[in-house]
Amino acid sequence: MNEKNYTDLIKAHKILKSEPRGILYDEYMKCRDVESWFRSGDVPMKEIFLLFGFILGWQPQFQGAPEKFREIYKEIFPNLKGFRESKLIDIELTETIQKCIADIFDEVAQCTRIERGGKRRYESTGASKILHVLIPELFVTWDMAIRRKVLDKRDKKKDGNAYAFEFLPKMQEELREMVDYGKADYQTIIDEISKETDRYTLAKVLDEFNYVRYTLGKSLEEIRDYCFQ
């Protein structure tokens, strides 16, 4: 049997926890001031510095500009705040919602400094990470390897439309299949995943599965056969 199931999420989580960078997420999520992000669009600069430090720990090539991001955050805040209680497992991804997510994603991806020629680097991977830590129940992160595998195409489509209209619906469908969403005992499965993965959100453990499977290149068999010390 090769179909993905919820135990694959748990095993991928444990594989990633054995990596040195695994601690970065936990430390950032403990140190950040969640309420300051949703009190108003005028987020304290120290929170942006903390956020960018976390992103750089995972993605050294990240070129975020704090002042530009602060400006962008003020613009997206009203729409972003509306998703604060949303969860990937049960949100209805209507066209209106997807368009809103796509716009937010594209704005965040432009949070970079101006490069030679007056252009800004489009931070696709960084944008997904930023959105995830802001609303960890909804947004799943991606990188080049994950995009190529999940979207089944070369790394050309990495904008907000690709994320909101293609990637996120695929992630929701896969997550629902892995936890038997809608069946009588699906909440029991979700509770077990939470217990076995340090209380991480479903969107986070799905990201970890993608990272282990596609970025680290481990097969399902390798994930399932991994021996933990």
Q: Locate the DSSP E strands across 36-164.
A: none
pTM of the predicted structure, to 2 decimals: 0.93
Residue 71 domain flag:
yes
Q: Which amino acid is at 192?
A: E
Decide if pLDDT at 185 tops 50.
Answer: yes
Number of domains into which the chain is organized: 1
Say which residues have a Cβ less than 8 Å from residue 185's Cβ, sequence separation at least 6.
Answer: none
Range of the domain at 49: 6-80+89-218
Decide if pLDDT at 180 tops 70.
Answer: yes
- State residue 1's pLDDT score: 43
* 99 confidence band (pLDDT: 50, 70, 90): very high
Secondary structure of the chain: what % helix, strand, coil (to 5)?
60, 0, 35
Residue 229 domain flag:
no
Residue 34 domain flag:
yes
Decide if pLDDT at 14 tops 80.
Answer: yes
Mean pLDDT in the chain?
93
Percent of the chain residues past pLDDT 90, beyond the cut:
84
154-176, pLDDT tens digit by residue?
667 899 999 999 999 999 999 99
Between CA 105 and CA 192 the distance in angstroms is 31
Residue 126 domain flag:
yes
* 203 confidence band (pLDDT: 50, 70, 90): very high
Number of neighbouring beta carbons within 10 Å of residue 133: 19
Residue 226 domain flag:
no
Between CA 93 and CA 150 the distance in angstroms is 18
How large is the average pLDDT for residues 75-103? 98
Residue 228 domain flag:
no
Residue 227 domain flag:
no
